[in-house]
Amino acid sequence: MRRKFVAGNWKMNKTIPEARQLITELLLTLKSLDGIDRAVCPPSTSLPMAAKLLQGTGVGLGAQNMYWEDSGAFTGELAPAMVAELCEYIIVGHSERRQYFGETDGTVNLKVKAALAHGLTPIVCIGESLEENQAGKTAEVVSRQVRGGLADLTPEQGAKLVIAYEPIWAIGTGLAATAEDANAIHRDVVRPALAELFGEQVAQGIQIQYGGSVKPDNALGFFTQSDIDGALVGGASLKADSFTAIAKAAAES
Ligand code: PEP
């Protein structure tokens, strides 16, 4: 049985006091939802504060980006060991990083390997654009992203991954995929691609989150599908009431 995993991607939102306030409010509910995995991914500036607040609560902490090299002249970047000092999770290959910051399946692969080498759990984001979707290329694009981003990993490493299927056209638009369509991609495309790389048993154990306009009113519909193992939540993770409602739906499902 795969546990449900709900993670909040705060993107470039919240100052340190704002982040402290939100985490304090979230903990009132999230702390007790120990039947699911739950995590927040605030901006890097809030990670040290968040790490302290979340210590011993069962709520995980993730960063939104890091570089793959261990150290050196890479102005503005965070090394895997620096992230691992504070976090358990690292979001890799989010479509916004692919779109605005040149991330590719190749750099995703380097980051995933670096994350695993430092004991971080990568949340690897994949998903097709609107044009690719409309051209009927979703399966092709998503399988290519899985194969490229996760190339050369062992089954033991594969077992430590979390995947987030996030159709780009659904992110921040209010136009979520239907639960049935998302589940079909998870079940018929993503998990089989993972099975090709790591074997069926490992693939069956990997959590595959859905992301893209998940809200309190549609969350349960996703979480009751066979192959949707939680959500990566953007906009609705910025308010305590909406994120806790989504986490509660995961706990109930
Ligand atoms: C995201 O950015 O990962 C995301 C899913 O955003 P939203 O929930 O706002 O669509």
Instruction: Look up the pTM and report it.
Output: 0.97
118 as an active site residue: the answer is no
Q: How distant is the alpha carbon of residue 76 from its chain centre?
A: 23
- Residue 228, ligand 1, Cβ within 6 A: no
Residue 188 sits at φ, ψ, to 5 deg, of -100, -15
Q: Give the pLDDT confidence score for residue 131 in this predicted structure.
A: 96
Q: What is the pLDDT of residue 38?
A: 98
230: left (phi over 0), alpha (psi -120 to 50) or beta: left
pLDDT score of 75? 98
Give the domains, in start order, of the chain with CATH numbers.
4-252 (3.20.20.70)
Question: Which tens digit of pLDDT belongs to each residue from 200-223?
Answer: 999 999 999 999 999 999 999 999
Residue nearest to atom 7 of ligand 1 (CA): 234
Asked if 94 is an active-site residue, the reply is yes
Task: For residue 101, give the H/E element and its range.
Answer: helix 95-101
pLDDT of residue 1: 84
pLDDT of residue 92: 98
* Owner of token pair 């209010």: 174
- Which residue ranges of the chain lie beneath pLDDT 70? none
Tell me, using a 6 A CB cutoff, whether residue 185 lines ligand 1: no
CA torsion through residues 207, 22, 221, 251, sign = positive
Rounded to the nearest 5 percent, the helix, strand and coil shares of the chain are 50, 15, 35
Burial class (CB in 10 A: 0-12, 13-18, 19+), 40: buried
pLDDT computed for residue 138 by the predictor: 98
